[in-house]
Amino acid sequence: MTQPSDAQVTSSSAEAAVTYVFAVCRSTRATSALDLTGVTGMPGGEAVRLLPSGLLTAVVQTVPAADFTDEVWQGRLADREEIERYARAHHAVVSAVATHGPVVPLPLATLYHDDDRARSRLAEEADRFHTALKRVAHHAEWGVKVYRPATPDPAAAFEEPAPETDGGRARGAGLAYLNRKRGAQALREKRREQALDVAESVDAELRGLAAASRRLRTHGAALSGDQRVHVLNATYLVANDRAHEVGLLVRALGERTGAQIELSGPWVPYSFVGEV
């Protein structure tokens, strides 16, 4: 149910309304009793509602097709504040439903031409949805970022050698300077390798606690503005009855390794529902 073909709204159909699907959950008494009053959903859409289909229920909203044409959506993607507004609205609906039981969140802007098309896709992929719901039931997602311990750059200790009038002394001073630069580079590489070893150690211990894990791409200063050296970006699926252990382990690992470790969560397990 990831970005189906009919999720692409053409300008010719832009006067119509389409079905926006936020998430899928099991059809249970608790689900049918969900009160979605006050859950806003996408800007300009109708009330968020439930769309039952056999043993599964989709959380949907009827939205103007004109708001999701390729042209409009591409423009929205180029506007950071605007796309964040839509992403927050999407997440708010998913989070509200997730407080009542396991949920499979769908990607932002998953659309169908109507309720019948959405129901058909639920039926077609029922086995995959049930597998994902079983995987994440009674679990939450936790994010962990590890940064290399802050240490002075070895190169900062170097100063250019003072000019020497004697040719032999000048050559000796230059050689000593080059040797110091090589030493600084070697030390820098050694620290980097040590930081990566720490990241692997942290990841291994957290994987021992988690039911599943995923390694994500680390980010650089150019993207985030953060000058710290990012060596691990990972997410872990942890059973709810072990949630209290996550913070304790992260603090212990930080004290033991000296690394800066950031913990976030618990989150709806977006990373562990698979390609549905």
Give tens-digit pLDDT for 191-233: 677 777 889 999 999 999 999 999 998 876 545 556 678 889 9
Looking at residue 106, what DSSP letter applies?
A: P
Domain boundaries, the chain: 5-137, 140-154+181-272
Point out which residues pair with 237 in neighbouring strands: 141, 212
pLDDT at 196: 79
Which helix (H) or strand (E) covers residue 63, if one does? Answer: strand 56-64
pLDDT at 181: 66
Which numeric CATH code is attached to 140-154+181-272? Answer: 3.30.70
* Average pLDDT over every residue of 143-172: 62
Contact 61, 42 (CB under 8 A): yes
Closest CA to 49 of 123, 118, 120: 118
pLDDT at 195: 75
Residue 129 has pLDDT above 50, yes or no: yes
* Average pLDDT over every residue of 117-121: 95
- Helical ranges in the chain per DSSP H: 29-32, 70-77, 80-98, 115-124, 126-136, 167-209, 221-224, 243-257
Per-residue tokens: 149: 């311990």
Report the mean per-residue pLDDT for the chain: 84
User: Which range among 2-6, 106-110, 236-240, 242-246 shows the weakest confidence by mean pLDDT?
Assistant: 2-6
Q: What is the largest CA-CA distance in the chain?
A: 91
**Burial zone of 132 (CB within 10 Å; 0-12 exposed, 13-18 middle, 19+ buried):** buried
* Average pLDDT over every residue of 154-162: 51
d(CA 10, CA 70): 7
pLDDT at 168: 57
Give tens-digit pLDDT for 251-262: 999 999 888 999
Residue 200 CA from chain centroid, whole number = 20
Stated pTM of the model: 0.77
Give tens-digit pLDDT for 14-66: 568 999 999 999 999 989 889 999 899 999 999 999 999 999 999 999 999 99
